[in-house]
Structure 1
């Protein structure tokens, strides 16, 4: 969905003209942009208050690196970026397709062949990411777009290098509670195994229409992740 620019939005970033907002959150904003030749792309910026923080700039550089690793086959191809600008930004191809959570909410659980195809594509994407020594840390249905050329993983905002704990405070919990691993839910190091745990949750959601640990307040979800078994009701037999 497109939203008009506000008076606080820039009209140009780098050599690209901004024409609309695609979305935003506490950390930054994503815009629809045009290249000098008229092409369409998505441009992500970070809010000025975070741009002044060295640790946040380091996170954004890693997000760019992770997006480049995934590339256009499994994600949005990075076209241009400037993590050192006063307002750091990244331009990627503009992907068209609903997020997995919206698709399931509108049409119900995916057919079994579609779930298998989704799993195959996501396994290939995570293999590519992990082979480059990067973990996603926030794989969830809203971060997966269903495009005409296959599922695409987006939003590497809390990705980090495997074994690098510098960018995560001790005891801090980064991610989405409904799809966290027990280790991530307790603030321990998130390894590639945590991404696989999240993948299982995503595929369970795609096949059944509900998250494996239900819905509710973050504290309740974190408790269920740590101490209860996932709800696999409706999952097709193996």
Structure 2
């Protein structure tokens, strides 16, 4: 065997031990480990009554104390359960009204896209094309259910044994403009900037923000580099608003689609379904005159927002 010929090993989303104050049981689900923590709450590895593994996101207590948040969480959880499971982590259950509101999703084994690229580098063309189709398929299903993801990043794409899956959609967000921008900006400091221009400018949010993020993810997967470079927070935000993304390392088959997906004007971007059709058929999406909405804003639950499973 030639030393160094094998790629470095990739661990999946492994659970860590529970902390003393963590729950051991949530409804019918046994809690057996910690998977992670984000702005919305803590994600646990759980076991369903049938023995299958699940991911359980428990909402932060300060958010759970707000009746309007619980109501929005209940609506979004119900919508998320209607999302077709093609390339998403299925939403299985939710308890928005209990003492500890939680959302239960399918547990997806496998590393995040961000971890894969960090360890193994840019994806091969064939794998990149599979990723492109899988994520647009997931977004099409999410948008068809009236949901906007709003926080699609390489950390929210899991590379499962059966292909890429999108997670962390359908969670009620904290719609406080004063804190939301700062939270998103903090995310942009250490990771590629996936916010669309309209998110930075606090403009109305539609499904077009997810299409922009899809393009940014493709650049990261193809090049291993952030779509708008690195540096100071202000510099990254300025580039998102005023400069084109760095497309140099994206292959010709995808470059045109990524470019149109990341148009500064959301009205000029194709829908996720148009992207998926173009990818499968090897065509280009229809040219959309600016000034027309890509999709009408979904119901009020998707105004502005951040992340979960």
Structure 1: distance between partners of 2:102 and 2:96: 6
Q: Against the structure 1 CA distance between its residues 85 and 51, is the aligned structure 2 distance closer, same or farther, given a 3 Å change threshold?
A: same
Decide which of 155, 159, 184 is 1:146's aligned counterpart. Answer: 159
- Superposition deviation, residue 195 in structure 1: 1.2
- Superposition deviation, residue 114 in structure 1: 1.2
Secondary structure at 1:134's aligned position in 2?
coil
Decide which of 192, 214, 231 is 1:199's aligned counterpart. Answer: 214
Which of 37-46 and 68-77 deviates more?
A: 68-77
CA contact (8 A) 2:83 2:145 kept: no
- Superposition deviation, residue 71 in structure 1: 4.0
Structure 2: distance between partners of 1:52 and 1:45: 13
Decide which of 86, 92, 96 is 1:83's aligned counterpart. Answer: 96
Is 1:32 paired with 2:45?
A: yes
Q: Against the structure 1 CA distance between its residues 218 and 155, is the aligned structure 2 distance closer, same or farther, given a 3 Å change threshold?
A: farther
TM (normalized to structure 2)? Answer: 0.69
Structure 1: distance between partners of 2:231 and 2:162: 34
Decide which of 238, 242, 248 is 1:227's aligned counterpart. Answer: 242
Structure 1: distance between partners of 2:176 and 2:23: 32
CA contact (8 A) 2:159 2:165 kept: yes
Structure 2: distance between partners of 1:88 and 1:44: 8
Secondary structure at 2:203's aligned position in 1?
coil
The structure in which a higher percent of residues are strand is 1
Runs of 4+ with >6 A deviation: none
CA contact (8 A) 2:154 2:217 kept: yes
- Superposition deviation, residue 169 in structure 1: 4.2
Decide which of 168, 189, 200 is 1:155's aligned counterpart. Answer: 168
Encode CA deviations 1:29-66: one digit per residue, 9 max, x unaligned. Answer: 11111223432211110121210013432443355245
Secondary structure at 1:70's aligned position in 2?
coil
Decide which of 70, 82, 105 is 1:92's aligned counterpart. Answer: 105
- Superposition deviation, residue 131 in structure 1: 2.3
Structure 2: distance between partners of 1:159 and 1:128: 18
CA contact (8 A) 1:137 1:195 kept: yes
Structure 2: distance between partners of 1:222 and 1:18: 39
Which residue of structure 1 lines up, in the alignment, with residue 197 of structure 2? 182
TM (normalized to structure 1)? Answer: 0.88
Q: Which has the larger radius of gyration?
A: 2
Q: Where does the alignment leave 5 or more consecutive residues of structure 1 unmatched?
A: 161-166
CA contact (8 A) 2:84 2:141 kept: no
Decide which of 104, 107, 122 is 2:135's aligned counterpart. Answer: 122
Which residue of structure 2 lines up, in the alignment, with residue 164 of structure 1? none
Secondary structure at 1:69's aligned position in 2?
coil
Decide which of 115, 119, 133 is 1:106's aligned counterpart. Answer: 119
Q: Against the structure 1 CA distance between its residues 18 and 170, is the aligned structure 2 distance closer, same or farther, given a 3 Å change threshold?
A: closer
Structure 2: distance between partners of 1:219 and 1:54: 35
Is 1:168 paired with 2:183?
A: no
Structure 1: distance between partners of 2:222 and 2:194: 15
Decide which of 48, 59, 69 is 2:61's aligned counterpart. Answer: 48
Secondary structure at 2:252's aligned position in 1?
coil
